Amino acid sequence: MMRRLLPLTVVLALAATASPALAGEPDPGHADLYQHDPGDPRITLDWHFAGSYPAWFRANIETELEVNWDDPVANNSNVPRYDNGGDNTGGGTVTYTAGATSPCTGSTVWLACNPAGGLTAFNIYVRSVPSASAPTWMWYHRDNTCSDLYDGNPNPDDGFPTSACFSILRVVAHESTHNTLVRPHYDSAAEGETLMGSVTPTPNGSPDYWNRKNFLKCDLAAAQLEYGPADAAGKYADCFNVKPGDGAKGLNSALTITTGASYTRCSNTSATVAGRLSLANSAAYEDMRNWPLSGRSIRIDRKPANSSTWTNGIATATASGSGGNNWSKAIATTTAGTFNYRATWFTSLAEPAVNSSNEVTWTIQWTTVGCPT
């Protein structure tokens, strides 16, 4: 996708259109650009520099692709990762060029572009600025400043009166998202929801997001839908707090019990119940459907079978693991009688995207008859 600019607030417009969308909706046109089915290992994209470039450029591109892109909080997804194996050929290519026209579209108003996503031999082009064809634009990360240090004070004048500043990290994050996940741009979303708008912000125009180094919340939502989460105990994208719109939050959870609904046990032994806590098995959740909600605590309540009053929180079980049952609890009591039990996982402020689960119930008759003493 091509990025272009308008003067002074200087915005890069990437030549693509986006369908109207509601705030909080994952990027339209997102796709599994590198075929990846649930349970498949994460794909690694090899890449190299196309030539010998300045040290600041190489260091920042490597940091962006191999550290920031992989941030486990901002990017809890299995979207392909990048790895520069130290080779000079093969895989994808990052090219730093002073060309006046975009290698992707031919436009003269551009900062970076990726001509086509989903290619192992991908190309990400980054424009060398300032340069003769763009004398007023600069990369912040060259000197970690938006001030023109090359105007004769303190450094020799380079002839480029720079005034518009951009983040090379954000630009590369944007192009990397085109490469792995999103085809069109997304101009109807709020600024804090996605990197994939058709404009590249400046510090003055967007102090909070101009230097964003990794996914925003709806970029993460799209990545989780298409490639699944990386860490089952990690966070689901805040973008789901309204989309798909199931319940008060965006995603429904599902709790099951697989060990039966009725037991008889000696009151000096225990009964182990087990089941699964996951996201709902909904086609709308794509690669997240039935994904385990590991690391979450399930509350277990109890009441006598002939009572309507529950005692809450007599035990807890923590979901762990991924396949099949992922929670279990050994229930014990020294009191004979028949008791009803229920288990529920409750959402919290730390889970803005996932609704509380359904409750599951079972009954245990605790007896002393025929039991060892």
Same domain, 170 and 53: yes
Ramachandran sector of residue 176 (left: φ over 0; alpha: ψ -120 to 50; beta: rest): alpha
| pLDDT at site 322 | 80
Please report whether residue 111 resides in a domain.
yes
Same domain, 157 and 275: no
Please report whether residue 241 resides in a domain.
no
Same domain, 276 and 148: no
Which of 207, 235, 263 corresponds to the end of one domain? Answer: 235
Please report whether residue 38 resides in a domain.
no
Same domain, 119 and 180: yes
Same domain, 210 and 310: no
Same domain, 296 and 214: no
What pTM does this model have? Answer: 0.89
- Which CATH number belongs to the domain containing residue 280 in this structure? 2.60.40.10
Same domain, 211 and 315: no
User: 239: number of CA atoms within 13 Å, CB side?
Assistant: 27
| pLDDT at site 25 | 74
- Which CATH number belongs to the domain containing residue 59 in this structure? 3.40.390.10
> Quick one: DSSP state of residue 328?
E
| pLDDT at site 243 | 62
Q: Contact 92/46 with Cβ under 8 angstroms?
A: yes
Q: Contact 165/5 with Cβ under 8 angstroms?
A: no
Which of 235, 270, 290 corresponds to the end of one domain? Answer: 235
Same domain, 122 and 208: yes
Same domain, 308 and 185: no
Between helices 55-63 and 168-180, what is the axis angle to 10°? 50
Domain of 66 in residue numbering reads as: 44-235
Same domain, 154 and 273: no
| pLDDT at site 154 | 87
Number of folded domains in the chain?
Answer: 2
Comparing C-alpha atoms, which of 255, 219, 211 is closest to residue 347? 255
Number of residues written out for the chain:
373
Specify the residue for token string 């997304």: 186
Q: Is 156 exposed, middle or buried (0-12, 13-18, 19+ CB in 10 A)?
A: exposed
Determine the number of helices (DSSP H) and then strands (DSSP E) in the chain: 4, 15
Which of 200, 235, 270 corresponds to the end of one domain? Answer: 235
Same domain, 180 and 271: no
pLDDT tens for the chain, 373 residues long, are 433 333 333 444 443 333 334 556 788 789 999 999 988 999 999 999 999 999 999 999 999 999 999 999 999 999 999 999 877 788 999 999 999 999 998 999 999 999 999 999 999 999 999 999 999 999 999 999 999 999 998 899 999 999 999 999 999 999 999 999 998 888 887 889 999 998 899 999 999 999 999 999 999 999 999 999 999 999 999 988 766 666 778 899 999 999 999 989 998 899 999 999 999 999 989 999 999 999 999 999 999 999 999 999 999 999 998 888 999 999 998 889 999 999 999 999 989 899 999 999 999 999 999 888 7
Please report whether residue 373 resides in a domain.
no
Please report whether residue 30 resides in a domain.
no
Strand partners, 112: 126
Same domain, 204 and 306: no
